[in-house]
Chains A and B, each alone.
Chain A
Amino acid sequence: MSMKSSTATTNAASSSRIAGGVAAALLGVFLLFGVGLANADALHNAAHDTRHAFTFPCH
């Protein structure tokens, strides 16, 4: 493998790693708000014990 194509492979790997990171971060933050912070009663009540246990701010 020439130096040039090896660099290209590394760049491709690194940009798909970043894309994976973005996907993971967005999904993680979305889930975190739903389980830990959303004020909807049903969500709050279903996740109540978890919110207290993980020390999220709760009522």
Chain B
Amino acid sequence: MIKRILLAAFAAGALAGVFAHGAQLVEVIPVMHAAEGYEGLADERGHGHGHGHEAHGEEGHGHDHSGWMPADGFERQVFTLMANVLTGVAFGLILVAGFAFSGRHVDWQRGALWGLGGFAVFVLAPAIGVPPAAPGMEVGSVSERQLWWVGTVVATGGGLSLLVFAGSKLLKTLGAMLIAAPHLVGAPIPAEFHAGPLPAELAAQFAVASLVTALAFWAVLGGLAGHFFDRWVQQRT
């Protein structure tokens, strides 16, 4: 059964990853590339920390992400597609693990609901403190934001599971408190902002486009994962 559980996750994740790639091409990727033009301006002004896309070919800017990178155009597209598929598979595995642990019956509709839960856990809750950032935005320390992001994902995931599946009111209350906790602790938001070269309109457009695209991805992932899990795991045991 382990093999079929993993297979359901891989199939749903890979398909949803390809879907996400197509959905990103509509707005997320074009806005991101437009934002990178401004990221180049920040580098020329000497305080950027980009990572060497078309806007700045020379060495010596002190980037924290120099080294190998896919060439712009086809190669970059291919790597992004692969990374999207791997991200889809990673989230698919985590979602299917949730199905397995819960012991509840799933089908494509329940799976889509699970997907919305995944969106809340992995996108919506962390976005409150670590908003979706277009390249070139000044956002503070990456490691601090990653730590808060991971903590928020774990707390929201655990809290939501208790809220939905726990039997007692006490545990449900604990779940709700867990969901709120990271926001009471507070995200590592920089004390002051220096206006960067990226227009606010572009940053806002990126935030909305990435959130909506992620929502669509999670709904599709959940629906597919629920369907495959139903077909390959539940109906065979």
Least CB distance, A44 to chain B, in whole angstroms: 5
Whether B5 sits at the interface, judged by CB under 8 Å, is yes
* A53–B32 touching, CB < 8 Å: yes
Specify which chain A residues have a CB less than 8 angstroms from the CB of B66 in the assembled complex.
41
The chain A residue sitting closest to B135, CB to CB, is A52
Q: Is the interface of B mostly helix, strand, loop or mixed?
A: helix
* A50–B130 touching, CB < 8 Å: no
The chain B residue sitting closest to A28, CB to CB, is B93
* A55–B123 touching, CB < 8 Å: yes
Q: Is the interface of A mostly helix, strand, loop or mixed?
A: helix
The chain B residue sitting closest to A15, CB to CB, is B1
Tally of A-B residue pairs with Cβ under 8 A?
A: 172
Specify which chain A residues have a CB less than 8 angstroms from the CB of B20 in the assembled complex.
53-54
Specify which chain B residues have a CB less than 8 angstroms from the CB of A50 in the assembled complex.
80, 83-84, 87
Specify which chain A residues have a CB less than 8 angstroms from the CB of B142 in the assembled complex.
39, 57-59
| Among B68, B82, B90, contact of A41 (Cβ-Cβ < 8 Å) | B68
Interface residues of A (CB under 8 A from B): 13-14, 16-25, 27-29, 31-32, 34-37, 39, 41-42, 44-59
